[in-house]
Structure 1
Amino acid sequence: MLAAAAAELSAAGVGSPRPDAEWLATYVLGVERSRLPLAAGFTPDELARYRRLVARRAGREPLQHLLGSAAFRHLELAVGPGVFVPRPETELLAEWGIAQARRVAAERPGTAPVVVDLCSGSGAIALSVAYELPAAAVYAVERSARALDWLRRNAADRAAAGDPPIRVVAADVTDPGLLAELTGRVDVLLCNPPYVPAGTDVPPEVADHDPADAVFGGTDGLAVIRPVVRRAAELLAPGGVVGIEHDDTHPVAVPALFTADGRYADVTGHPDLAGRPRFSTARRAS
């Protein structure tokens, strides 16, 4: 059944047919993927359910929507229609931000680092910071009402699991008055904004299921990044840092925005594990 499902998914153009076939099987059977070879097999009802899920995946419905969750660093987050599915590449930005917040905590014992996650979506970055650095004061900002539902659900689930609560803020990250109460107080600001240039071809999983306003960032992909760069300079404390994920066509454009602003130092580009430009960082000059 796994071989047949993988062949069906491969014929439909799914990029990882065998792993997806296995994940769907573990979901139906209720076993861990490592235990799948030891599973007794499908009952008739389970087999029918599995075939339906494989057909939906062959129709390019995101695997995470079918499973109801997405893995991100150490967390499993609820996702579905209306919210951007977090990508493994964004874990690198989260890792950088967590390391920066840990540095602040070490330099200022007894003081909670203030961390802001803009365009939070499912809350992947914000909740990872809270999980891995419980001492941090974490703010998650999201505009979309549908994405906010997922964000609040995930925040509640993590709080119920014993993680420190985060502060969910319903706001537009392009608002010049965003988080006015935190002006000059933020230690680490992270943002995975919509950054794909309009008109770019994207896979059906993205085009048909991810919210367009969480994917596309205007004609050049920088429509949200520009105001975020400006507002981050006002929110950050002296010496505070900012990291923004961007398109792989932006390794020059985003650092140039930081430099042109005039309030940043130590502007740096960071590649992903495949060597493609992934995010850029900067420090608020004193």
Structure 2
Amino acid sequence: MNFLLDEIARATQRLAEAGISSPRTDAEELAAFVHGVRRDSLHTVSDAEFDALYWECVARREVREPLQHITGRAYFRYLELQVGPGVFVPRPETEIMVDWAITTLHAMDVADPLVVDLGTGSGAIAISIAQEVPRSRVHAVELDPKAAEWARHNVETTGHAGRVTVHLGDMHSAVPELNGRADLVISNPPYVPSAERDQVPPEVRQYDPQLALWSGQDGLDAVRGLTTTGARLLRPGGHMAIEHGDGQGIEMPRLFPESAGWRDVVNHKDLARRDRFVVMRRAESED
């Protein structure tokens, strides 16, 4: 039996006992990182090449340091992004919202769509849109200076510096020069209720930036602000997508009423069939 695969089995057991939700995947990702191969090529690592650094990485993960902080990378759609302390680690759930946004942009009768990503973090959403909607122009807004630096770095290393502009500023007041011009506004804002602080996994509570997590007692403070921000930035008929937490979808129609100029407010589910993001359209001028 391949020695590394045997060690991965041992690591999987240790991570499972530590409460890691995906112990086998994490054990394999750490092994691939340490040995410089892809996960599907782990069987090619010979016994002589086994690196004891693997067990140092397993020990770090065992005490709930995020996998992505250990490897320094996060995968999002077709991207490999660099992440670490000071930036929110992008989640797979957000990919579904981005897929909706990309499909919507392709369906628009707009040659060079203008997109605003509010609370960009690592830049995952903004860069994905720039990559998959080739003529789009994306403005990414981030309040946290450390996170903004991670976003700028990822924009540069993925080769999208000419298409994605990172702005340091508050999502609710930034880029006033784009008022009434955006074809699409998209955001994965903070939405964790402060009342649920003790229920959040250690990887999130201890390592993700606080600005990216908490948003008032019910978790909806940032989303409430986006009701006016979206209205400010969008052109008539423009679209907006906002990620939200479990159980918050029921509040969205009330926050984006027709009386405030919103149309077609619809919740979309994630792969676990839970409401995960809401989309809406700004009323046409003749509505």
- Structure 2 length-normalised TM: 0.93
Task: Look up the match of 1:141.
Answer: 141
Task: Look up the match of 1:7.
Answer: 13
Q: Which of 193, 198, 205 is the matching residue for 2:194?
A: 198
- Report deviation, 1:217: 1.0
1:146-185 to 2 correspondences below 5 Å? 146-159=146-159, 164-175=162-173, 178-185=174-181
C-alpha contact 1:130 1:163 (8 A) present in aligned 2: no
CA deviations on 1:24-53 (whole Å, 9 max, x unpaired) are: 111111111111122213546x12x10100
Task: Look up the match of 1:250.
Answer: 248
Distance 2:209 2:106 in 1: 33
Query: Match for 1:71: what amino acid?
Result: Y
> Cα gap change, 1:186/1:69 in structure 2, threshold over 3 Å: closer, same or farther?
same
2:44 is equivalent to residue 50 of structure 1:
no
Counting aligned pairs with the same residue, the percent is 45
C-alpha contact 1:255 1:280 (8 A) present in aligned 2: no
C-alpha contact 2:33 2:71 (8 A) present in aligned 1: yes
Query: Match for 1:20: what amino acid?
Result: D
Q: Which of 268, 284, 287 is the matching residue for 1:270?
A: 268
DSSP-derived class of the 1:269 partner:
strand
C-alpha contact 1:121 1:151 (8 A) present in aligned 2: yes
DSSP-derived class of the 1:220 partner:
coil
Task: Look up the match of 1:101.
Answer: 105
Distance 2:259 2:187 in 1: 17
C-alpha contact 1:255 1:269 (8 A) present in aligned 2: no
DSSP-derived class of the 1:252 partner:
helix
C-alpha contact 2:195 2:218 (8 A) present in aligned 1: no
- Report deviation, 1:80: 0.4
Q: Which of 74, 87, 91 is the matching residue for 1:87?
A: 91
Task: Look up the match of 1:220.
Answer: 218
> Cα gap change, 1:269/1:36 in structure 2, threshold over 3 Å: closer, same or farther?
same
Distance 1:124 1:267 in 2: 24
Query: Match for 2:35: what amino acid?
Result: L
- Report deviation, 1:215: 0.9
C-alpha contact 1:195 1:224 (8 A) present in aligned 2: yes
Runs of at least 5 residues in structure 1 that lack an aligned partner in the other structure: none
- Report deviation, 1:199: 2.4
Distance 1:180 1:31 in 2: 45
Query: Match for 1:127: what amino acid?
Result: I
Aligned positions, number: 276
Give the RMSD, CA atoms, in angstroms: 1.3
- Report deviation, 1:163: 7.1
C-alpha contact 1:130 1:164 (8 A) present in aligned 2: no
Task: Look up the match of 2:128.
Answer: 128
Distance 1:248 1:190 in 2: 18
- Report deviation, 1:260: 6.2
CA deviations on 1:199-235 (whole Å, 9 max, x unpaired) are: 2111010011011210111111111111111110121
Distance 1:95 1:72 in 2: 11
C-alpha contact 1:266 1:283 (8 A) present in aligned 2: yes
DSSP-derived class of the 1:173 partner:
coil
Distance 1:42 1:26 in 2: 16
Task: Look up the match of 1:187.
Answer: 183
2:28 is equivalent to residue 28 of structure 1:
no
Distance 2:172 2:182 in 1: 17
Distance 1:255 1:79 in 2: 34
Query: Match for 1:211: what amino acid?
Result: P
DSSP-derived class of the 2:81 partner:
strand
> Cα gap change, 1:194/1:115 in structure 2, threshold over 3 Å: closer, same or farther?
same
